[in-house]
Amino acid sequence: MGKGKDLFGKYNDLARENGVGSEDCQYANVLFQALLMVGERKVFELLEEADESGKKLALEYSNDHGGEEAIPSSIVLV
Q: Mind listing the pLDDT tens digit for each residue in 20-67?
A: 999 999 999 999 999 999 999 999 999 999 999 999 999 998 776 666
Residue 15 above 80 pLDDT? yes
- The confidence band for 70, taking pLDDT boundaries of 50, 70 and 90, is confident
Phi and psi angles of residue 56, each rounded to the nearest 5 degrees, phi first: -130, 160
In this prediction the pTM is: 0.88
Other C-beta atoms closer than 10 Å to the C-beta of 36 total 10
Pick from 62, 57, 60: which is nearest to 77 by CA?
57
Could you tell me if 75 and 59 are in contact, meaning their C-beta atoms sit under 8 angstroms apart? yes
